[in-house]
Amino acid sequence: MPYETPTTPLYAVSGELLVIAPRTADAPARQTSANPYRRLLATPGARAFTAGNLIARLPMGMFSVSAILMIAGSRGSYTLAGAVTATGLAATAIVAPWTARLVDRYGQARIAVPATAIATLGSLTLLLCVHYHAPTWTLFAAYAATATTPNTGGMSRARWAHLHRGDPAALHTANSFEQAADEMCFMLGPALAALLCAALFPEAGTLIGAILLMTGVLIFTAQRATEPPVAPRTRARSLLRTRGTPALLATFLATGAVFGAMEVITIAHAGGAVLALQAGGSCVAGLLYGSLRPALNVRRRLLWCLAGMTALMSLPLLAASSTDSLLALAGGLLLAGAATAPTMVTGMTLVQRVAPKGQLNEGMTLSVTALLGGIAAGSATAGWMVEHMGTVTGYVVPVSAAGLALAIAAAGLRRT
């Protein structure tokens, strides 16, 4: 029930200072449970929109693997499969920020449902084109249409930011929960896609992924009580001109290169199964990080997280260069992953602080776009290193990318 008059004050962080802010009319009451995640999910409406969002988010880890297996199995070319998925990634980088801007302007339900319907039709069209051996160009066109898929993780974070504004502890736990959910979906999604394509039929991963995406978004957007209100229509200033945003996006770009490089090098060196340990380490670290107190100085916390990530990313390099033991490499990847979630949680918290009111979805989607661009660049760089310098030397790439992210953040965020 909303409060009609201000009651007990809440603590809020503004810039570098801790200030006292009265509880607003829409701010939820604090729960008494000692478990921060139980308190989080006790927020009215939270479990319903979280369930829908998780259903919609799982296919994000399925689509690219499903498309590669489906196209390569039908056309006999991994080169073609990779080119089609790369085209979809490039289209997403262009379209996603515009979709997010429309979500901020007109609301999640009004934009996410039709945008998801277009993306679902794109996936189903790709399936039919592959199955009926349509011309090659149709595969590129169909997969490019999936770029309208809304940033479901960003929309969920926007809801938490709306529900728990003025409560940095709850928001910190929410961001940690969302990051752990990302890691879980990208850990389970590829395995589920491969299982479906192998056990049923080559198009099964794409088909079931499309059904899950549409179903999850419909459930998520049906929870109108928790949807953030639409900001008054004004002439929005470009986020790229907002103080602190360019440095943050550059930091996310370099961080994405860490992920892309580590994936390619580890698959080349030891196969894909051991790579899941990095995501597992990140998932556990994200949940533990969410139980800690939020930082008063988020910029300083981000620098510490990036420094920790740089140090821990050197562990797989040390393991690969000093021994042939797969167990040692697995341990290095598990510990390296432990730095990922705290870095991403802190970075997304800064995005929420920097982005103007009414442009939160756009800000988080730009961050994800920067990550995707970094993943592509890191993958390409790592692939060149593997072919010309070997897999062991290739592990230098993620360490260097993490160091670059730390240097960018130290130089750029100091002036924000």
Lowest mean pLDDT among 83-92, 152-161, 247-256, 284-293: 83-92
From 127, 121, 112, select the one nearest 145 (Cα to Cα): 121
CB 178 within 8 A of CB 156: yes
What would the two tokens of residue 114 be? Answer: 């039709």
Lowest mean pLDDT among 11-25, 142-156, 340-354: 11-25
pLDDT of residue 221: 94
What domains appear along the chain, each with residue ranges and CATH number?
45-228 (1.20.1250), 241-416 (1.20.1250.20)
More confident residue, 367 or 30: 367
pLDDT of residue 237: 65
Determine what percent of the chain falls in helix, strand and coil, rounding each to the nearest 5: 75, 0, 20
Based on DSSP, count helices (H) and strands (E) in the chain, helices before strands. Answer: 18, 2
pLDDT in tens, 320-343: 999 999 999 999 999 999 989 999
Distance CA 24, CA 385 (A): 54
Work out the average pLDDT over 115-129. Answer: 95
**pLDDT of 210 strictly over 70:** yes
pLDDT in tens, 251-292: 999 999 998 888 878 878 887 678 778 888 888 999 999 988
243, with CB counted inside 10 A (0-12, 13-18, 19+), is exposed
